Amino acid sequence: MARGRRGSNRGNYKNHGSRNTSSRGRGNFKNKRKPNRDGGGRKDAASDSKRQKLQPEKESVPILEESSSSSESEVEVKPYTQLLSMFKSGNRAQQVLTSDEEESEDIESDDKSVVNGSGNEEENVSELEDEEMEEEDEGSSLGIQEDGEVEDHEEEIEGESEEEPSVDEEESEEDPSGNDEELEEEPSDDEEEAVSSTDPYHLHYEREMSESLLEILTSPKPYETQEQNWKALGRMVVHLPAKIDTKIEKPKVALLGETTEKYVIPGTLPQLRTGIPLVDYGVKSQLCANVDKRPLSDSSTQTVEELFTPLQHELFSLTNEYRDIYYPEMNHRNSDDIRTVYCLHSLNHVMKSRDKVLLHNAKLKKYKEDGQSTEDVEFRDQGLVRPRVLIIAPLRNSAVKIVEKMASLLLPVKGQIINKDRFYKEFGEEKDEEDKKDNKKSYKPEDFEAVFTGNTDDSFRIGISVAKRTLKLYAGFYKADILIASPLGARTLLAEDFDFLCSIEVLVIDQTDILYMQNWDHVLHIFQHLHLQPREQHDTDLGRVRLWALNGYSAHYRQNLIFSCVALPEAAALFSRRGTNFSGKVRVENAVLPSATTVCRVLVQLPQAFHRFPTPTAAQSADDRFHFFTKKILPQYRDQLMSNTLIYIPSYYDYVRLRNHLHKEEYNFGQACEYTPDGKLAQVRNRFFLGKKRLLLYTERLHFYRRLTLKGIHHIVFYQLPTFPNFYPELCNLLQDAFQNPKYRGDGSQTCTVLYSTFDAPRLAAIVGSQRAAEMLTSDRPVHLFVSGGS
């Protein structure tokens, strides 16, 4: 098999480990090339010959000798026999970050080449590239899976992994200064202790949880609420763990027989620090340098106020302390600022975790080289599996923005994105000239263009592996650090395997409002599979797994970041019930001022009647709404004067229920939902405009995805207030004369009817304002009339 460099295939390296469809969901994610257990470090003839050329001094050193020996591993695993019983039996456990250990060897050899001279630099770069290729070939089958592709032979995998990198890739790796930064992160024990006492990452993840705090977090009411006001975020409701008894607790024996001297500190009220450089927040210097793109600027002296907007500064201050955040005021103008914050936080978290593992690997290797015993040495720095960050995004164009933002924050000028061409081919914008011409014919709102520009496919998943100067896309899920997936793409995989979700430490839900429009049940399904007991071991060294992960406390360490454009009760319930972070939770709740209400945007002169119906509980509100509408509102529209009535229905279940009722009562109506074919939709719109259909049922999801300009509307009924407050003026403004049937123009008899209950308070406040909504919900009058527009 030819082993020459293939420069034309750059970026198209295939993860052969993810093509075997027969192993999906069964946990058969095994590396094709296993280390030789007799300690000889033998490989195939081609690989051995190449190693001898690149590093003759390491010929007799096995690649995976950094981990503890088999006898030591058995001693380490003995206390955890109860946990091991769920795994398949094996001779010994291997480390999770095998590829990172190999990379650490390359880093050390590269550093030596810099000291000796620049002559050996190219050889070390080639070896580093070979190791990255080997890691890619050894990826598991949980990456992006494509139909029609099967796993190649083992010989082809090894041959492809040993190919020399292309010219561009060699140039991207020839930066000796990066290796110096890689090796300078080996502080002494005293320095490491000093860093761990101030770094939020170490304070959150490197300590165990006390039994009293665990009892509080698992109690029915684990949090106490307080309020704060910041300049950009506004009113914040802060949830802090209930106070623990002040009596001193002695170190207690954990579940698995280990003792701990330090416990985590429960969250306190957040404090906004000003005038502090970004490095002092615990952010890696590489990320700080890439945040500030201005030339000749010193990132070490730039304060956070100079680098971030006020919103970014306050959000990052909360995020960096690993607090849960629910921010429902995201829009298309500040979405990029918010994306910068959580991408920076995610990369900083992954890089710190990776550096911790590499540092401990180097120490273990040094102990072994010096002949010291490692029986008393224990490093707890990993989870049950490698993925640490999960980002849930609705569309592929959102994934492109996230990856591009991460690349701009992580990679220097000579950084490299592996599989970049393949990523843009599958996630990039589909160029269709006919669609572009159709979009130009009809006007779409600005927020619609911001969401649906680019690839709008809602089924995807991709794993990302992070290195010092490399961002590897399409990494296998058990070899990836960051997972980006849509709810649909993740759910199709959860039916086969869910072990990759058992060690998620940072969970980001971006554009929650769009996820709500897709299928909220998929999001709930993902949360139900977080931190479950894994079914297989996945080459995890249990001697390196943190004790709180082995004890099943991972849910209390996980940070949830939820961003939405509107306040959703479902998202608020998910935030309060599914998050038990001991660092606390922050929910932003700002009152809607009269100047920000959407009812003021109604331009047409239109009387708007808001009818409040009584209902005791939220579960019963759907039935009470249906009975109130069918008995008191709908009979009024049998009159001949109430023709051309649009009934706006947010819920599809209410739409089906009302459609069946109109069929039963033999109403003359049309129906338009997200599942209606285009031909039938155009037909029913034409009949409604001509008056041949007296009623038209119109769902919210159809309006969200299409933003149709419906003509001929003379009366409009909101069966429930819209989820998006801007939909209310959009639909009401369709009653102006320009969109009316000629026989109704200028008569001024248009009407608007709205149904609401006490459980629609967030939607009502977004439309009429918080103060008016409070008055309407507590007033003795069940009907309130608004008249807007006109001259």
The CA distance from 253 to 131, in Å, is: 42
For 781-789, what is the mean pLDDT? 90
Q: How many CA atoms, within 13 angstroms, populate the side-chain half-sphere of residue 128?
A: 31
| 751 DSSP β-pair partners | 715
The model's pTM is 0.76
Q: Do 575 and 683 fall into the same domain? A: no
Q: How many domains does the chain have?
A: 2
Residue 217 lies in a domain: no
pLDDT at res. 438: 53
781 has pLDDT over 90: yes
For 409-418, what is the mean pLDDT? 84
| 418 DSSP β-pair partners | 472
pLDDT band at 431 (very low <50, low <70, confident <90, very high): low
Q: Do 570 and 614 fall into the same domain? A: no
pLDDT tens-digit map of 41-57: 444 444 444 443 334 34
CB 91 within 8 A of CB 70: yes
For 660-672, what is the mean pLDDT? 94
Residue 229 lies in a domain: no
Q: Do 563 and 616 fall into the same domain? A: no
**Residues in Cβ contact with 409 at an 8 Å cutoff, skipping those fewer than 6 apart:** 287, 290, 291, 340, 343, 344, 347
77 has pLDDT over 90: no
**Residues in Cβ contact with 664 at an 8 Å cutoff, skipping those fewer than 6 apart:** none
Q: HEC states along 402-445? A: HHHHHHHHHCCCCCEEECHHHHHHHHCCCCCHHHHHHHHHCCCC
Of 558, 588, 618, which residue sits at a domain end? Answer: 588
The percentage of residues in the chain with a pLDDT greater than 70, rounded to a whole number, is: 70
Of 529, 558, 588, which residue sits at a domain end? Answer: 588
pLDDT at res. 643: 86
- Residue 732 sits in a domain whose CATH number is 3.40.50.300
Q: Do 660 and 754 fall into the same domain? A: yes
Of 152-166, 301-315, 610-624, 776-790, the range with the lowest mean pLDDT is: 152-166
703's tokens: 């309006």
Residue with tokens 């100079």: 306
310 has pLDDT over 50: yes
Q: Do 475 and 520 fall into the same domain? A: yes
565 has pLDDT over 50: yes
pLDDT at res. 21: 40
724 has pLDDT over 90: yes
Q: Do 473 and 566 fall into the same domain? A: yes
pLDDT tens-digit map of 356-385: 999 999 998 998 888 887 777 888 888 999
Q: Do 22 and 138 fall into the same domain? A: yes
The whole domain housing 159 covers 7-189+274-370+384-428+456-588
pLDDT band at 747 (very low <50, low <70, confident <90, very high): confident
158 has pLDDT over 80: no
47, 167, 264, 411, 414 from 7: Cα distances, Å? 21, 7, 51, 22, 17
764 has pLDDT over 90: yes
678 has pLDDT over 90: yes
Average pLDDT over the chain, rounded to whole? 77
pLDDT band at 450 (very low <50, low <70, confident <90, very high): very high
228 has pLDDT over 50: yes
pLDDT at res. 377: 81
147 has pLDDT over 80: no
Of 155-169, 269-283, 328-342, 573-587, the range with the lowest mean pLDDT is: 155-169
255 has pLDDT over 70: no
Q: Do 284 and 318 fall into the same domain? A: yes
pLDDT at res. 245: 61
258 has pLDDT over 70: no
166 has pLDDT over 50: no
Is residue 526 helix, strand or coil? helix
pLDDT tens-digit map of 521-560: 999 999 999 999 888 888 888 889 999 999 999 999 999 9
Residue 485 lies in a domain: yes
Q: Do 356 and 503 fall into the same domain? A: yes
- Coarse DSSP helix, strand, coil percentages of the chain, rounded to the nearest 5 percent: 45, 10, 40
764's tokens: 């009502």
pLDDT tens-digit map of 641-662: 788 899 999 999 999 999 999 9
Of 566, 588, 610, which residue sits at a domain end? Answer: 588
For 464-486, what is the mean pLDDT? 93
